[in-house]
Amino acid sequence: MTRSEGRRGESSREAILEAAESAFAENGFDGARVDMIAQISGYDKKLLFRYFGDKLGLYTEVLKRADREANALLARVFAPMLADGTAISHAQQWRHFLETMVQTLFDYLLDHPRLVRILTWEMAEGGQTLTRIASEFPTENTGLFERLFPHAYQAGLLRSDFAPVIQLTMLLQICQIYLVSLPLYQRLLPGEDLSSASALTRAREHLVTFLVGGMMADQETAKP
């Protein structure tokens, strides 16, 4: 394969992924049709099958692409905690870590509204499809959470030793719920533009305060 052929192949693959993401966001996994995805992408469905195998394979690749992007962002959030072994025992550093985590998740979802819709379809359907492909996704960041959280809890920085991976997932889901509920909130507050940059910044900071405040132990109970 020549370099130009490789570029064309990558271009067609990305076009199919973009079309699939749009179709899955609009219709969910069950409602999206391969014919529809092929039509949106402008490529024959035979090429889709050649690249991705079937609809589930295509869905997997759509979510794996998003997962890679999100994990790259989260790796930057984890880096300071991993570089400084003592940071995990200090309330100020740990609070900053959690605040940055929530901000990163909120901003990523805000920038990827189609992913928000796909995840909301999954939530409505009990995560049936995502459960089928869960083994396809790396677990480095959840593994780091599993390692760091018990230390922070033992240091008296966290209120609860509830399953770290669920706590991490809930941070994502609460940001998701806010963003997917914006049309409802807008109807409740018709005189405000809740989708403006300033309103979204205020919402993000509220979620940061709300979530991190709920997770962090009261300072006077933290161990020295």
**Which amino acid is it at 128?**
Q
Q: What is the pLDDT of residue 1?
A: 46
Average pLDDT of the residues in 163-185: 95
Average pLDDT, the chain: 90
Q: What is the pLDDT of residue 210?
A: 97
Rounded Cα distance, 102 and 110, in Å:
12
Say which CATH architecture domain 65-221 belongs to: Orthogonal Bundle (1.10)
Helix (H, G, I), strand (E, B) or coil at 69: helix
Annotate 106-130 with DSSP letters as a single string.
HHHHHH-HHHHHHHHHHHHTTTHHH
Q: What is the largest CA-CA distance in the chain?
A: 65
**Tokens 């920038």 found at:** 111
Phi, psi of 165 (to 5 degrees): -65, -35
Q: Decide if 31 contacts 22 (C-beta within 8 A).
A: no
Residues 47-74 have pLDDT tens digits of 999 999 999 999 999 999 999 999 999 9
Q: Which three-class secondary structure string do you get for 179-211? A: HHCHHHHHHHCCCCCCCCHHHHHHHHHHHHHHH
What are the structural domain ranges in the chain? 1-53, 65-221
Q: How much is the pTM?
A: 0.90
**Tokens 């499809």 found at:** 129
User: For the ranges 149-158, 171-180, 204-213, which has the lowest average pLDDT?
Assistant: 149-158
Return the CATH fold of 1-53: Arc Repressor Mutant, subunit A (1.10.10)
